[in-house]
Structure 1
Amino acid sequence: MAQSLDLFPIGNCMASALIDRAGRFVWSCAPRVDGDPFFCALLSDADPAAETAQGMWSIDVEDVRQIRQTYLRNTPILSTEIEDIHGGTVEIIDFCPRYYRSGRMYRPLAFVRLVRPVAGTPRVRVRLRPMANWGEKRVEVTRGSNHIRYVGGEVTFRLTTDAPVSHIECERLFRLEEPLTMFLGPDESFEGDVAVAASQMLKETTDYWRRWVRTLSVPLDWQDVVIRAAITLKLCTYEETGAIVAALTTSLPEHAESGRNWDYRYCWLRDAYYVVQALNRLGAVDILENYLVYLRNLVDSAKGGHVQPVYGVGLEPSLTEWIAPHLPGYRGMGPVRVGNQAHEHLQHDVYGQIILSTTQAFFDERLLRPATLDDFRALEPIAQRAYELHDQADASLWEFRGREAVHTYSSVMCWAAADRLAKAADRLGLVDRAVYWRERADAMRATIESRAWNEDLGRFAATFDGDELDASLLQLIDVRFVPPQDPRMAATVAAVEKGLRRGSYMLRYAIPDDFGEPQSAFNICTFWLIEAMHLAGRTEEARQLFEEMLNRRTVAGLLSEDISFEDGELWGNYPQTYSLVGLINCAMLLSRPWTAVR
C-alpha cells in the first residue's frame, strides 16, 4: 500500500506523533520535534504492513475487514476501531498526556495506547520497532518484569504495560480478551497501576483539551474545521521555549520526484506570525504569550543586528543542512534532509513579523504580561534594521536559493514594523517616538509605492522596478498597506489570479526557480486568494473555492503544504501551519454572523 498523507497527529506540545490509517505510529521524533525520528516509517519506501517494516509501532489485528478512525470530540486523542472478518472489534485509543498536575503542566515525552476488545476475541500482534540515527539501525531491546527498554537512540524509552511482556518482545499473535495499557515514555519506574493511571490520564487530558476549545471564539459556520485546525496548530508549538514549528515533518516532497524536500521542524518567524495572528482571531492568547517569550529571547540575542528567518526550537541559530543516508524518503522520493539552509538567508520581512507579532501585547489587557516600555525599547533596533533594509535585496519569503532581489513583500513587512511601532508608541504616550516611526513608515511607503508599482502594467510587481508576479502581493491587503477598495490593489489581485491560478489552486509564482518550474500549488496562496475575493465583494465565489479546499483535507481534517493542480493530491510537509492558518482565517471571514441564529 502506497504511503499517503492521511495521517492523524497526536501530541501534547512536547511529544508528537503521526498515526496512519491502520493505527500505526509512522513518525515521531525525540527528544524534541526536531530530533532523531525513532518512528521513521513515513520516510521509508517499504509498506509499513510488511514483515520487514521498521521504524513504526503497530497493533496488527488478524483478518482485518474494516478500520474506522476519529478524534474524540474537541481533542487530539485518536480512536481507531479495527474490525475483523469474524465480527471481532478492537478499539485503540492513542494520546499524549497533557493536564495540570502539582501546579504545573504535565506534558511528558510519552505516548499512551489503550487497547480494548469491543466485540468477540480478536487476535492481535504488537510490533514496536524504534530506530536510531535517522533509520540507520534498530535500537537495543532489554526487558524487565513488566517493562521493555529501548536503548540506543537519543532518548532511552521504557514501555510499561500490563500486557504479557513476552508477547510484545516476541511480536507474538495472541487473543485480546481484556483491555491492555501501554505507556511509552522516559526510562523511569512507573508508579502505581499502569491501567488505572492511564485511564486517569485519558480523562484529564480529554478535560484539558475540551476546556481549551471552550475558550475559542469560533465562527458560526465550519466550527469543526476551525477547532481541528486550532488544536493542531497548538500541537505544533514547543511549549518549553515558546517556539512554533512550521510542520511536524521533514522531507515530504512538494510534488513527485521534485527534490524539493525540506526540513520544516523549526521555528520560522514568518510562519509563527501567521499562526499567532490566526489564533488571536480565535482568542487563543496563551500561544501568543508563550511565543512572545521566545521572541524576546531572540531579540535579546540579536543585540540590534541581523535576525535570521528561522531558528531551532531551542533558539539555536545554526541549522546546518545535511542528508540522512539511511532513509530513502517518502515513497522512496529522497533526499531526506535534516536542518535547513534558510538559516543562512537574508529575509528582511522577519523584522516586520517580529513587531507584528508583538504589537497586540501593547494593547491587550487580557495578557498576564502586557508589553512594557522596556519591550518597546528592545524593539526599536528591530524597526531600525527594517528601515535600513527595506530597499535592499533578499531571498524573499519563498527562500530562493539561487537569486536575490528587492522583494515587495519584504519591503512592505519592513514598513509594517515602523507603522506598528508608531502605534505602540502612541499607546505608551511616547509622542516623539511615535512621530519618529511614523516619519520612517511614510518614507518607506513612498519608496515602495514608487518602485513596486509598475506603471506600464498598471499593477504592483513582486520586485522593485520589475514585472514579476507572486502570490505574496495579495498580502498587501492583510497587512493594511493598501485597502482592498484601492483600484491599484484590484488590478494587482486580478493580475495575480490570472497569472498564478491553476483551476481551483494558486501557485506561489510561475517562473522557474532553483529546481525548475513549480508543479504543485501552495495551499496558503489559495486561501489568500479566497480572502481577496471576499474583500472585493466576490463572496459567493470565495465560499465555493473555500469548500473546494475543505474537500481536499485529509481524513484527519488537515492539510499539507502543497497540492497537485493536476489531480488534487496533497504533497509537502504535514500538518502545515500555513495551511491550517488559511482554514481558520477564511472560515472567520466567510462565516455567517452568530446573529443569524439569534
Structure 2
Amino acid sequence: MRQPPIADYALIGNTFTAALVSRDGSIDWCCLPHFDSPAVFCRLLDARIGGCFRLGPAAPSRCERRYLDGSAVLATRFETADGVAQVTDFMPAPDLLAPDLPPHGHAYFSVLRRVEGLQGRVALDLLFKPTFDFVRQAARLAPQPGGCRADAGDESLHLALVPEVRLQVVDGEVRGRLDIPAGAAAWVVLSHGRAGMAGQGPAAWERSLRDTLRQWGAWGALNRYTGPYAEAVALSARVLKLLTFAPGGSIVAAPTTSLPEAPGGVRNWDYRFCWLRDAALMLGALLSVGHEYAADRFFHWLSRLWEPERRIQIMYRLDGGERLPEAVLEHLAGYRGARPVRIGNGAANQVQLDIYGHLLDAAHVYLEGRRAQVRPALARVLTHLANEAARRWRQPDQGIWEMRSAPAHHVSSKLMCWVALDRALRLAAAGRIEGDTAWWRRERDAVARVLHEQGFNAALGAYTQVLGGQALDASVLMMPIVGFLPAGDARMRATVQRISQELMHRGLVWRYRSDDGLDGDEGTFAICSFWLVENLALQGRVQEACALFEHITSFASDLGLLAEEIEPGSGELLGNYPQGYTHLALIRSALAIGRAQGSASGVACPRAVPAWP
C-alpha cells in the first residue's frame, strides 16, 4: 500500500491547524493542537506505520467533493452499489475577523465528521489509528461509552460517535462500521486535549457546523474581487486564510512537511513555520482582494517579535520562537519512499537579504491610503528594515531559494533591497516613518546602478541569477512586478524570452537549472510559472497570459488546490501542499490579467488552452 497522489487530498482547517483528507475519507495528516505541533496522524509520511482517521465506504465507491458555500467545510459524496451517503468534514471556526485569539481554544482542536444517508444504504468503515509525535510515542487506547480515548505522554485524543457503534481495539487501532440508511445521520467527532467538542452532543455539533459556515460567509463577504478567474481567486484567498495562525497573526508557509520536490527525492523540507518573505507576499495577495485585517494582525505580531539590536531571522515558529532545529525522522519511510523526513528547518539561520524588501513592500501596500497613525512599534521595525537593507545590500546571501551552497550576490536579493529602500522612502514621504532618507536614497540608487551594470548579461541577453553570472533564474521576473523596470523595457523583454526558452518545459517554469549545493532534482516551481503570467500580462500579451494561467491551473486538484511544484512530464503535484506561495501567485496573476484586459479593450481570454510542447 502507498499513499494517494498529493492532488487527492483536500484541506480542512480553522486557522489553528489543518488536516488533509483523502478521496476515500482518510485523514492522513494532522498536527494538533497547532500547525507546527507534532503530527498525531502521519500516514502521509509512512503508509505502513503512520496513523490515520478514516471514515469512508466499506465497498468500492465513486466520490465527488466540494467546499460548502465558499467555506473550508468539505462535503464528500460517496456512491456505492447499494446507495449514496455524504460525509461533511470540518474544524470549528473561530471568529475569523477577530483581532487576536488565545492559543488554547480547546473547542477549536477538534475534527467533526457528519454522515448523511441520501439514497439506499451505505456501510462506512471507521479506522482510528493515532500515532502521537510522528509515531515516536505509542498510543494507549481505552474504549469508553460512546467512543474511546487515546493517550500518550501528556497528550490525549477523545473520539465520540452518535449513534453509538461497536468498536474493536486491535494492535493500536480502533475499528468500527457505520450502517447508514437514507434519511439517517451520524456523527464522529475527535477532540485533542480536553474532551472539548467530543464531550458534547449532536445539538452542539450541528450548531458548530452552522457557526462555522456563518464565520466563513462573513469572511468571504469581504472579498471585493470580481475580475477574471474569480472562483480560483476566491479559493486561493481561502487557502491563504487557512494558513494564517489565529493566536497571534503569523502565517504558515504550508501545513505539511517533507512532501518531496521530485518523486522519491531527497529535497524534503518542513514548511510548517512562518517565513517572513512568504508571509509578506501572502499579505499582499490578501490585501489586493479586500482582506486588510490580516495585515493588521501580522504586523502587530512582527512588532511584538522584534527588539532593538536584535537580528531579524528569515523565519520563526508560529508563536515567534526562534529555534527551529532541523532533524531527520529516520523511522519514517517518507511519502512514497521519499526520504529523509525532516522536522524543523536549518534555513532559519541563513542570510536572505530579500526579506527587507518583501516586508516593506507589504507594509507600503497596507499603509497606503490608511488614515490611522502607524503604531510606533511598527514604525521602528520598518525603519530598522530599511536601515538593514541600506547597510547590508552589498553582502552575499543564500537568496530567495535558500541555496545551501556558498553565499553569492543574488540579483533578486539586490532587487528586493532596492524595493526596501524605495518603499521606505515612499513611507517617509507620506509621514509614516522617519529615518535617514538621504542615505536611503543614495543606497537605493547605488543598488539600481549595480543591477543595471552587473545584473544584466548582454551576451546572454538576460538578467542573471547572480551579479556577473551566466545562469538564468526565474526570480528576476519580479523586476517589473515590483516596479524596478517597465515590463516593456528591452532588457526585460529579452529576459522573459530567454527564460521562456531555457527554463520552460511543457508550459511550466523551473526556478533555475544551476547547481545549488543540494542533491536530487525538483519539479517546476508554480510561483515562477505565475510570475511569467504576470510579465506577459504587464507586456500586454493578454491572450498568452490567459493561456498560460489556465495551463498552470489545469494541474490543480479537483478542489482547486496546488502544491509548491509540478512535475512537467506527468503533471503530478510535488512539494508541500497546499502551498501559500503558489496560491498568492495565482491571485496576483489573475489580477494582472484583469488589469491588462482593462487596458486592452476587447481582448478576452481564449476558450481553449493550447497544447504545450
TM-score under structure 1 length normalisation: 0.92
How much does 1:162 deviate?
A: 2.1
Partners in 2 of 1:322 and 1:373 — Cα distance?
38
Distance 1:137 1:586, change over 3 A: same
How much does 1:114 deviate?
A: 0.8
Q: 2:93 aligns with which of 98, 108, 111?
A: 98
Partner of 2:611: none
Partners in 2 of 1:531 and 1:432 — Cα distance?
33
Partners in 1 of 2:73 and 2:589 — Cα distance?
26
Distance 1:432 1:357, change over 3 A: closer
- Answer yes or no: is 1:158 the counterpart of 2:158: yes
Which amino acid is 1:573 matched to? N
- Answer yes or no: is 1:4 the counterpart of 2:5: yes
- Answer yes or no: is 1:578 the counterpart of 2:573: no
Distance 1:466 1:261, change over 3 A: same
Would the aligned equivalents of 1:62 and 1:84 in 2 still touch at CA under 8 Å? no
Partner of 1:17: 19
TM-score under structure 2 length normalisation: 0.90
- Answer yes or no: is 1:563 the counterpart of 2:566: yes
Matches within 5 A, 1:261-272: 261-272=268-279
Would the aligned equivalents of 1:409 and 1:472 in 2 still touch at CA under 8 Å? yes
How much does 1:404 deviate?
A: 1.7
Partner of 2:211: 204
Partners in 1 of 2:451 and 2:283 — Cα distance?
27
Q: 2:179 aligns with which of 175, 182, 199?
A: 175
How much does 1:2 deviate?
A: 4.7
Partner of 1:506: 509
Which amino acid is 1:92 matched to? V
How much does 1:337 deviate?
A: 0.4
Show CA shifts across 1:11-59 (max 9, x none).
110021010011111100022111111110111134xxxxxx7511111
How much does 1:504 deviate?
A: 0.4
Partner of 1:239: 246
Would the aligned equivalents of 2:33 and 2:192 in 1 still touch at CA under 8 Å? no
Secondary structure at 2:40 match in 1:
strand
Deviates more, 1:476-485 or 1:178-187: 178-187
Show CA shifts across 1:484-535 (max 9, x none).
1222222222222222111201011011332357442111000001111111
Show CA shifts across 1:294-317 (max 9, x none).
2213332xx244322111111121
Partners in 2 of 1:378 and 1:571 — Cα distance?
36
Partners in 2 of 1:534 and 1:470 — Cα distance?
20
Partners in 1 of 2:373 and 2:84 — Cα distance?
52
Show CA shifts across 1:379-434 (max 9, x none).
22221111121111111111111222111111111111111111111111778744
Secondary structure at 1:272 match in 2:
helix
Which amino acid is 2:563 matched to? S
Deviates more, 1:134-143 or 1:347-356: 134-143
Partners in 2 of 1:350 and 1:432 — Cα distance?
19
Partner of 2:360: 355
Partners in 2 of 1:187 and 1:510 — Cα distance?
47
Which amino acid is 2:127 matched to? R
Show CA shifts across 1:263-294 (max 9, x none).
11111111111101111110111211111122
Partner of 1:133: 133
Show CA shifts across 1:218-274 (max 9, x none).
233222111111111111111212111111111011011220111111111111111
Show CA shifts across 1:182-207 (max 9, x none).
22124435588511111111111111
The gaps in structure 1 that reach 5 residues or longer are 47-52
- Answer yes or no: is 1:256 the counterpart of 2:263: yes
Partner of 1:321: 326
Matches within 5 A, 1:418-567: 418-428=421-431, 433-516=436-519, 518-567=521-570
- Answer yes or no: is 1:287 the counterpart of 2:294: yes
Deviates more, 1:400-409 or 1:212-221: 212-221
Would the aligned equivalents of 1:161 and 1:180 in 2 still touch at CA under 8 Å? yes
Partners in 2 of 1:429 and 1:275 — Cα distance?
22
Would the aligned equivalents of 2:265 and 2:520 in 1 still touch at CA under 8 Å? no
Partners in 1 of 2:379 and 2:321 — Cα distance?
24
The gaps in structure 2 that reach 5 residues or longer are 603-613
Matches within 5 A, 1:304-315: 304-315=309-320
Would the aligned equivalents of 1:133 and 1:153 in 2 still touch at CA under 8 Å? no
- How many residue pairs align between the two structures? 586
Q: CA RMSD in A?
A: 2.6
Deviates more, 1:469-478 or 1:157-166: 157-166
Partners in 2 of 1:431 and 1:67 — Cα distance?
58
Partners in 2 of 1:333 and 1:373 — Cα distance?
47
